[in-house]
Homo-oligomer: A and B are copies of this chain.
Amino acid sequence: MGKALTKNQALVLDTLSRADGPLSAYSILDDLRDEGMQAPPQVYRALEKLLKTGLIHRLESLNAYIACRDPDCVSHTVTGFAICETCGDVIEFAGEKISRQLKDWEDDNGFLAEKTTIELRGICKPCKG
């Protein structure tokens, strides 16, 4: 049972859920000025919590955040993101096989991964036409 969110956490999550793409911390802040959010630390603290609970993801190559839209995300070993450079769309994918390949590499090399980042930057199907 996941803990209830605080007001700020709920606001940030709500903003990310409504957005149709990744948002920077500062654009979240701007969106929430009217709701009483006033300074970066408030946003960053909420983001940190939401990341820890897996409700959102951080896109490292964009310095941006996105709400998790995959219902079984938690069950995946790794989550990948395909980011369209043209329309900005982000597709979250599971990559079970990739996950296994990475595990193999880890086992072979004695590396224990705590977090895995997989991000593709390119052009999505609709944008290719």
Show the binding face of A for B, using Cβ within 8 Å.
60-61, 80, 82, 84-85, 91, 93, 95, 97-98, 101-102, 104-106, 109-125, 128
Contact = CB atoms under 8 A, between A and B. Distances in A.
A82 B109 CA distance: 10
Contacts of A61: 60, 115, 117
Contacts of A114: 85, 121-123
A95 B91 contact: no
Nearest to A117: B119
Contacts of A118: 102, 116-118
A105 B98 CA distance: 10
Interface hub of A61, A91, A115, A117 (most chain B Cβ within 10 A): A117
Nearest to A111: B82
A101 B91 contact: no
A104 B124 CA distance: 14
18 contacts: A61-B117, A82-B105, A84-B111, A85-B114, A91-B109, A93-B109, A95-B105, A98-B98, A102-B120, A109-B125, A111-B122, A112-B128, A113-B121, A114-B121, A114-B122, A114-B123, A117-B121, A118-B118
